[in-house]
Structure 1
Amino acid sequence: MQVVYRFLATPRWLGYAALTVAAATVMVLLGLWQLDRYHQRAEINARIDAGTSATPVALTGVVGAPSGGPGTVGPAPAEHAQWTRVTVTGTYDPAHEILVRGRTVEGAVGFEVLTPLVLGDGKAVLVDRGWVRPASSGALTAPQVPAAPSGSVTVSGRLQPPESRGGRPQEVAGHAEIRRITPAVIAPTLPYALFDAYVSADAPTAGLTMVPAEKQNALQNAGYVLQWWLFAAMTVYGFGYLARREARGPRPDNLLDEEPDEVDAAHGVPR
């Protein structure tokens, strides 16, 4: 049987072809977007792994110090600086300690304890000393927070960039609370300039739980890449299958429904 594809030039099939190309193109682009997200997340995970075992470097070597007066912040750290293991020496200021509410560790919701560490030059950096469970009597009761070490201390930990959409600290049950860690919003409530980043301590204060680094689910994005590209291939294949079927015409078992002169009357089979 001769297969003829002249019908592909008809308006109807040209429309099918255009729709197929458009759909496949969109799916390929979605796959490329997910591939880019995979590389971004894999890079973050690599930085987290490196920050776990790397030798800490001076905080000021990674992020710029604030140059203004009290209530101001310095420049934000570069994106690649996140999760860098840093070290900084100073004195904790428990009078301006802040609890970050709604933080989950090992499936439990509690508070992260954010305490300013004042450096020798009078500037400060916020240090996440660890996580604490809420009071058993409810949210309106202050949790039992272990006191920050006194005197000069050296803290090492992972550098974290400012979080978005932060609000000013609010007084709750005798202590300050926030939902997001945004130094630029917190700084005006403090008597010193802040680094526009915070340090998540490697070793939490006794009585607090270390806040674990949450890795990105890069494999999920890799799965989406395969999914979108498979859909694109199936779309193109489906168009080719329908075109081939159209070109071949009716199947042999349908020929008996045609006019009698197309059938051998003696044998009952198609000529």
Structure 2
Amino acid sequence: MYRFLLTPRWLGILALTLVAAAVMVLLGNWQLDRYQGRTAINERIDAGERMNPVPLRDAVPAPNGGAGTAGSAPADEATWTRVTVTGRYDTANIVLVRGRTVDNRVGFEVVTPLVLADGTAVLVDQGWVPPAPGGAMAQPQLPPVPPGEVTVVGRVHPTESGTGAIGRREGRLEARRIGVPRLARELPYPVHGAFVLLDEQTPTADPLFRAVPIGHTNNWQNLGYVVQWWLFAAMTLFGYGWVARREARRMAGLDGPHLPIDRAAERTPS
């Protein structure tokens, strides 16, 4: 019944089916890798909330270049680590990161270089502030930054991509994203290759700063895609088998029951 499967037409259909199923399995495997990667990020975020802070240099390598350069990015395992570091804020090089949303309000994140005793610096995201009256792009009135030595406790945040153009307005740097290598070019000292998202500091930060929430990645969406692609692969193979079986039954005349018609009975009056 199934010798027709060896014809060129059906062998071609089988080849296309296997290729399509293989591609869908590979797409499912790719989404599985993304799910595992995002799950690891979420686990590091949760671990960072519970851990005691460690010195910055235990998580982020010290920069070894000259002024205007950024150090190496931390290892993936070190991101979201809770760290502590002491230095002095450089208020002459505050970076306002525009278009940032907290609690459905658009404003600015304030990133200030913290200069360490060895002359290097780490960018510290002090928090979110609302814009001044006049619109979401109006420069905010910033609260004063503590003079002298400041001890910061926060989480290691990897650099963001797509910084775009960086300019100065009213003496302050402005950017759309916190891209550490790009921002480092505007600063007069070497900068660590990640920034610190502030949790707390001594002296205490001004209450106008709103803590920037750390959002977990949507890893369950990737898991859903895994199931979707693998189901599509299974359905493709099942569909090929169903169509082949249907064709075999058609060729054997077994598509459905063929009941004999009693013509004599049709002519017999009731």
Same topology, TM > 0.5: yes
Q: Retained in 2: the 8 A contact 1:98–1:169?
A: no
* CA deviation after TM superposition for structure 1 residue 92, in Å: 1.0
Mapping of 1:123-142 within 5 angstroms? Answer: 123-139=120-136, 141-142=138-139
Query: After superposition, what is the alpha-carbon deviation per residue over 1:78-121, rounded to whole angstroms, capped at 9, x for unaligned?
Result: 22221111110111111211101111222222110001111111
Q: Which residue of 2 aligns with 1:259?
A: none
Distance 1:38 1:266 in 2: 71
Q: Which residue of 2 aligns with 1:220?
A: 221
Residue among 35, 44, 49 paired with 1:38: 35
Distance 2:106 2:239 in 1: 49
> Are 1:92 and 2:96 matched, yes or no?
no
Root mean square deviation, CA, Å:
2.1
* CA deviation after TM superposition for structure 1 residue 46, in Å: 0.2
Q: Which residue of 1 aligns with 2:237?
A: 236
SS in structure 2 at match of 1:101: strand
Percent of pairs with identical residues:
56
Distance 1:129 1:182 in 2: 16
Q: Which residue of 2 aligns with 1:14?
A: 11
Amino acid of the structure 1 residue aligned with 2:256: P
Q: Retained in 1: the 8 A contact 2:93–2:172?
A: no
Distance 1:81 1:266 in 2: 90
SS in structure 2 at match of 1:29: helix
SS in structure 2 at match of 1:202: strand
Q: Retained in 2: the 8 A contact 1:140–1:173?
A: no
Q: Which residue of 1 aligns with 2:140?
A: 143
Give the aligned length: 259
Q: Which residue of 2 aligns with 1:56?
A: 53
Q: Which residue of 1 aligns with 2:159?
A: 162
Residue among 2, 26, 34 paired with 1:5: 2
> Are 1:183 and 2:180 matched, yes or no?
yes
Could you tell me which runs of 5 or more consecutive residues in structure 1 were left unpaired when the two chains were aligned.
Answer: 257-261
* CA deviation after TM superposition for structure 1 residue 171, in Å: 1.7
SS in structure 2 at match of 1:114: strand
CA 1:15–1:265: 2 relative to 1, 3 Å: farther
Amino acid of the structure 1 residue aligned with 2:69: T
Distance 1:264 1:10 in 2: 40
Residue among 54, 79, 99 paired with 1:82: 79
Could you tell me which runs of 5 or more consecutive residues in structure 2 were left unpaired when the two chains were aligned.
Answer: none
